[in-house]
Amino acid sequence: MAEPIARLDDVSVSFGERVVLKNCSLEVPDGTIMCIIGLSGAGKSTILRLLDGLIKPDSGHVYLHEHDICHMRESQLIEMRTKIGFAFQFAALFDSMTVGENVSLPLREHTTLSEKEIFDIAMHTLDSVGLAHTYHNMPSELSGGMLKRAGFARAVVTNPEIVLYDEPTTGVDPIVTHLLTDTIKRLRKQLNSTAVVISHDLQSIYMMADYVAMLFEGAIIANGTVEDVRKSNNPIVQQFLQGSEVGPIPL
Ligand SMILES: Nc1ncnc2c1ncn2[C@@H]1O[C@H](COP(=O)(O)OP(=O)(O)OP(=O)(O)O)[C@@H](O)[C@H]1O
Ligand SMILES: [Mg+2]
């Protein structure tokens, strides 16, 4: 594996009585696409929120490069987040702004670039996801797949080192799924960045993942290349990949 760019080290997270992550460790190798799989409610989105410093673990550490982000001051966290792009599950664009304004937002918040520079970068980024022509449209005028790509553009507009995608292909047809998967791969390469992708779509995962990690009952129970994980002799992993009702996973 390549050097890790991000790392969870022995992390535990609970919400009230509910233990979501328990002594969970995970390394995200630099320059790769890592997909995280697991049952609904397993804690996958929680891992992305930890990596972005949006929540802190009850115990354990979260590192970006060698920096422990759990002990950063808010000003350091804000600085760190410019290196991280987050593509939220439902794109989460602001309805009252044009697509171009939405994509420009991180540049306005985190840089001192001129209006012209912001426009040029936002337009270029929209172009890289095939949406330059939608710059002046409102989000409500876009299809579901286009909204997702606009969300990707906003996530990568600051040229982040690591991009977090939460269920980027949920709720779109198989052709759009293919297009979105291809876009994630292309953006990773163009930006020379790292991607962490949560997905339930096995076809899409097999197409893009360098590494796959499976989260189950608070910890990573399988982690390796697509081939490693597909060949895993862990019955929980096999039941999950086959989508079978029969097996050790409690239903
Ligand atoms: N802020 C919060 N407060 C209370 N409970 C929370 C909070 N965030 C997450 N949870 C709970 O933690 C568990 C894990 O949530 P998480 O969103 O990380 O799961 P997930 O694996 O992303 O699930 P899904 O596949 O459904 O998106 C769930 O039971 C959820 O209800
Ligand atoms: Mg989730």
Q: Which atom of ligand 1 is nearest to the CA of 49?
A: 18
Helix (H) or strand (E) holding 152: helix 144-156
Helix (H) or strand (E) holding 86: strand 84-87
pLDDT for position 82: 87
Closest Cα to atom 10 of ligand 1: 15
Q: Is 2 a residue whose pLDDT tops 80? A: no
Distance from Cα 98 to the centre of ligand 1, integer Å: 31
Query: Which mutation among 17, 24, 45, 48 tests ligand 1's pocket best, with the greatest number of atoms within 8 A of CB?
Result: 45
Q: Which residue do the tokens 């233990």 mark?
A: 19
Q: Is 149 a residue whose pLDDT tops 80? A: yes
Q: Phi first, then psi: what are they for 148, rounded to 5°?
A: -65, -45
**Strand 4-15 relative to strand 18-29, pairing:** antiparallel
Q: Which CATH architecture is the domain 1-83+196-203+212-251 placed in?
A: 3-Layer(aba) Sandwich (3.40)
Beta-bridged to residue 224, according to DSSP, are 212
Write the CB contacts of 72 (distance below 8 Å, at least 6 apart in sequence). 53, 80
pTM attached to this predicted model: 0.95
**Least confident interval from 38-52, 89-103, 190-204, 206-220:** 89-103
Q: Is 90 a residue whose pLDDT tops 80? A: no
Write the CB contacts of 39 (distance below 8 Å, at least 6 apart in sequence). 216, 240, 249
Distance from Cα 43 to the centre of ligand 2, integer Å: 7
Other C-beta atoms lying within 10 Å of the C-beta of residue 66: 7
Q: Is 157 a residue whose pLDDT tops 80? A: yes
Q: Is 11 a residue whose pLDDT tops 90? A: yes
Tokens of residue 99, six digits? 């697509």
pLDDT confidence bin for 81, thresholds 50/70/90: confident
What are the C-alpha distances in Å from 44 to residues 49, 86, 177? 9, 14, 20
Query: Which mutation among 8, 14, 26, 44 tests ligand 1's pocket best, with the greatest number of atoms within 8 A of CB?
Result: 44
Closest Cα to atom 26 of ligand 1: 40
Other C-beta atoms lying within 10 Å of the C-beta of residue 156: 25
**For the chain, percent of residues with pLDDT exceeding 90:** 89
pLDDT confidence bin for 179, thresholds 50/70/90: very high
Summarize the confidence of residues 143-157 as an average pLDDT. 95
pLDDT for position 1: 64
- Which residues approach ligand 1 with their CB closer than 6 A? 15, 18, 20, 38, 40-46
Q: Is 167 a residue whose pLDDT tops 80? A: yes
pLDDT confidence bin for 92, thresholds 50/70/90: confident
Q: Is 234 a residue whose pLDDT tops 80? A: yes
Three-state SS at 77: helix
